[in-house]
């Protein structure tokens, strides 16, 4: 049977006059209906683990805007929690975790095979979504890339330069690599279960890939993404994978070929004309409007949206932002972006 969904067609390499569109963090605090459901759940983590409410917030932006894809509502830091790390969110600041800096800290983590007791509600969310989504909407599952997840596990929080993770990488490479291997193994199992539950595509978020330079990028960003992609495609032949090595810069070139991903997501520091010539030549690309346009709107949003659509017109493209939409965004600007992509 021919692939009909717009997003799956782009991932299969088809160029379309109007690209499919979705948005990173499309279920989020800029939407009043999200804030209401989050309040009902109590807090962010309770929302992630409440399958009915997590499915509800995943569906909200689909109902409001008719995006071509829905992304499972969860978080990349649920994997560390399922491995045994403590995790909590400080309102207005972000995530906090117990830190991993010594062999003794690492020894407290459970095996990758033990994650599913904690993560079962996430698979249930996927099952609910795959029966409730409109037939034209693609369901995307996701996980964090091992490096990005490790940066939070090592530092116990978000860090501007990922300093603690780089220090462990240099000072105790064996421990660092053991941690990355554990996360890689857990991520393969986690994504595999999402696919079994109904995810049609999976995306690997490497938000801090850009801070790995030279050989370190090859070893700790590219190689884990290659391993995860290869294992998933072996278990689930044909499953499309989107890679997001954020701020990889010129290392976006050849990333799809080297890792086997079907699509690379571009952040907004990348020039779309350059990316069309150097990255899209290898297959589908996703991106890359700057999130700030969802706050500022107006003619600048329209012009920049048109410029991106135009640059990627001659190959497979999924329209998206270059990073997640922020809580201060105006929902009307999202509609303006969609209208511009769909109507020119």
Task: Confirm whether 25 is a catalytic residue.
Answer: yes
Asked if residues 165 and 154 have their Cβ atoms less than 8 Å apart, the reply is yes
HSE of 320, CA atoms in CB hemisphere, 13 A = 27
Burial 26-50 (b: 16+ CB within 10 A, else e): bbbebbebbeebbeebeeebebbbb
Query: What's CA 107's distance to the chain center, in Å?
Result: 28
Interface positions, 136-165, toward ligand CP3 (CB under 6 A): 142, 144, 158
CB 199 → ligand CP3: shortest distance, Å? Answer: 12
Active-site residue (options: 9, 25, 169, 182): 25
Torsion sign over Cα 251, 253, 259, 261: positive
Task: Confirm whether 307 is a catalytic residue.
Answer: no
Which residue of 65, 73, 176, 255 would you call a contact of ligand CP3, by CB under 6 A? 73
Taking the least distance from each CB to ligand CP3, the nearer of 95 and 315 is 95
Q: Does residue number 205 form part of the binding site for ligand CP3 (CB under 6 A)?
A: yes
Q: Which two tokens stand for residue 335?
A: 């509609």
Q: Does residue number 75 form part of the binding site for ligand CP3 (CB under 6 A)?
A: yes
Asked if residues 252 and 286 have their Cβ atoms less than 8 Å apart, the reply is no
Taking the least distance from each CB to ligand CP3, the nearer of 152 and 282 is 152
Taking the least distance from each CB to ligand CP3, the nearer of 26 and 229 is 26
Q: Does residue number 77 form part of the binding site for ligand CP3 (CB under 6 A)?
A: yes
In angstroms, the CA 76 to CA 158 distance is 12
Q: Which two tokens stand for residue 317?
A: 């493209």
Taking the least distance from each CB to ligand CP3, the nearer of 95 and 224 is 95
Task: Confirm whether 29 is a catalytic residue.
Answer: yes
Q: Does residue number 267 form part of the binding site for ligand CP3 (CB under 6 A)?
A: no
Asked if residues 232 and 195 have their Cβ atoms less than 8 Å apart, the reply is yes
CA-closest candidate to residue 264, choices 303, 333, 312: 312
Q: Does residue number 312 form part of the binding site for ligand CP3 (CB under 6 A)?
A: no
Which residue of 6, 25, 166, 251 would you call a contact of ligand CP3, by CB under 6 A? 25
In angstroms, the CA 207 to CA 141 distance is 16
Q: Does residue number 292 form part of the binding site for ligand CP3 (CB under 6 A)?
A: no
C-alpha to C-alpha distances, 340 to 29, 155, 325, nearest whole angstrom: 23, 41, 17
CA-closest candidate to residue 160, choices 151, 150, 169: 151
Angle at 286 between CA 283 and CA 291, to 5 degrees: 160
> Given the structure tokens 């991993």, which residue do they identify?
100
Taking the least distance from each CB to ligand CP3, the nearer of 78 and 276 is 78
In angstroms, the CA 320 to CA 289 distance is 6
Taking the least distance from each CB to ligand CP3, the nearer of 207 and 280 is 207
Task: Confirm whether 38 is a catalytic residue.
Answer: yes
Interface positions, 117-136, toward ligand CP3 (CB under 6 A): none
Task: Confirm whether 49 is a catalytic residue.
Answer: no
Radius of gyration, alpha carbons of the chain: 19
Asked if residues 285 and 264 have their Cβ atoms less than 8 Å apart, the reply is yes
Q: Does residue number 27 form part of the binding site for ligand CP3 (CB under 6 A)?
A: yes
Q: Does residue number 324 form part of the binding site for ligand CP3 (CB under 6 A)?
A: yes
Active-site residue (options: 9, 49, 68, 75): 75
Instruction: Give CA torsion, residues 114, 119, 124, 130, to 10 deg.
Output: -100
Which residue of 41, 71, 133, 225 would you call a contact of ligand CP3, by CB under 6 A? 71
Q: Does residue number 341 form part of the binding site for ligand CP3 (CB under 6 A)?
A: no
Segment lying near ligand CP3 (by CB under 6 A), choices 21-29, 80-88, 226-234, 298-306: 21-29
CB 2 → ligand CP3: shortest distance, Å? Answer: 29
CB 1 → ligand CP3: shortest distance, Å? Answer: 29
Active-site residue (options: 152, 190, 220, 252): 152
Catalytic residue numbers? 25, 29, 38, 75, 152
Binding stretches for ligand CP3 (CB under 6 A): 24-29, 38, 44, 71, 73, 75-77, 94-95, 142, 144, 158, 205, 207, 324
């Amino acid at each position: 049977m021919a692939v009909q969904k717009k997003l799956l067609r782009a991932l299969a390499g088809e160029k379309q006059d109007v690209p499919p569109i979705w948005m990173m963090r499309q279920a989020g605090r800029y939407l009043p209906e999200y804030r209401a459901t989050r309040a009902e759940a109590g807090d962010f983590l309770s929302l992630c683990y409440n399958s009915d409410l997590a499915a509800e917030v995943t569906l909200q932006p689909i109902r409001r805007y008719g995006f071509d894809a829905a992304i499972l509502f969860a978080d990349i830091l649920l994997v560390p929690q399922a491995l045994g790390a403590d995790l909590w969110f400080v309102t207005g600041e972000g995530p906090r975790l117990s830190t991993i800096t010594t062999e003794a800290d690492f020894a407290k983590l459970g095996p990758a095979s033990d994650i599913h007791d904690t993560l079962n509600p996430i698979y249930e969310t996927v099952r609910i979504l795959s029966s409730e989504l409109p037939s034209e909407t693609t369901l995307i599952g996701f996980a964090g890339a091992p490096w990005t997840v490790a940066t939070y596990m090592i530092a116990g929080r978000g860090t501007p330069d990922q300093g603690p993770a780089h220090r462990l990488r240099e000072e105790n490479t064996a421990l660092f690599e053991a941690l990355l291997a554990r996360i890689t193994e857990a991520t393969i199992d986690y994504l595999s279960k999402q696919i079994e539950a109904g995810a049609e595509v999976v995306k690997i978020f490497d938000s801090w890939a850009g801070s790995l330079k030279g050989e370190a990028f090859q070893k700790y960003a590219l190689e884990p993404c290659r391993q995860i992609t290869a294992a998933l495609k072996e278990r689930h032949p044909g499953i499309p994978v989107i890679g997001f090595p954020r701020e990889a810069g010129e290392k976006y070139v050849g990333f799809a070929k080297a890792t086997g991903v079907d699509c690379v997501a571009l952040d907004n520091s990348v020039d779309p004309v350059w990316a069309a010539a150097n990255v899209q030549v290898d297959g589908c690309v996703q991106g890359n409007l700057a999130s700030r346009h969802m706050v500022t709107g107006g003619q600048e949003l329209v012009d920049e949206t048109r410029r991106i659509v135009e640059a990627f017109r001659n190959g497979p493209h999924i329209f998206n932002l270059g990073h997640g939409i922020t809580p201060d965004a105006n929902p009307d600007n999202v509609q303006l972006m969609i209208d511009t992509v769909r109507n020119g």
